[in-house]
Amino acid sequence: MDVCNFCGIQLEVDSVFSAKHSMLNSSAINFINEKLELNLPGGCTKCIRKEALRAHEIGSREDDIKSKEFLWKRSWLPMTSSGISSN
Ligand SMILES: [Zn+2]
């Protein structure tokens, strides 16, 4: 089982449950660092979720294409309530 180097959470491979965590790829990390002027070395969808959301907010306000590219694919972010159902 993979573990996040940064927060230590266990990363789950694809499962039927939506509450899985995975490492963010480097373009996502770069995007976050750029938008928030941070210098994060990396992280998973748990430990930098807040940053990712904030970066996305900024990006979408700027109508940044990268923001959409980066986060629309990532259904783990509750951008819209329709993506995740708790049924
Ligand atoms: Zn993590």
Q: What confidence score (pLDDT) does residue 37 get?
A: 96
31, 62 contact by CB (below 8 A): no
To the nearest whole percent, how much of the chain has pLDDT over 70?
A: 63
Tens of pLDDT, residue by residue over 27-41, are 889 999 999 999 999
Measure 6 CA to ligand 1 centroid, in angstroms. Answer: 5
Highest mean pLDDT pick, 50-54, 61-65, 73-77: 50-54
42, 5 contact by CB (below 8 A): yes
Residues with CB under 5 A from ligand 1 (ion): 4, 6-7, 44, 46-47
To the nearest whole percent, how much of the chain has pLDDT over 90?
A: 29
Measure 73 CA to ligand 1 centroid, in angstroms. Answer: 19
Q: What share of the chain is helix, strand, coil (3-state, %, to 5)?
A: 35, 5, 55
CA nearest neighbour of 84 among 10, 25, 31, 16:
16
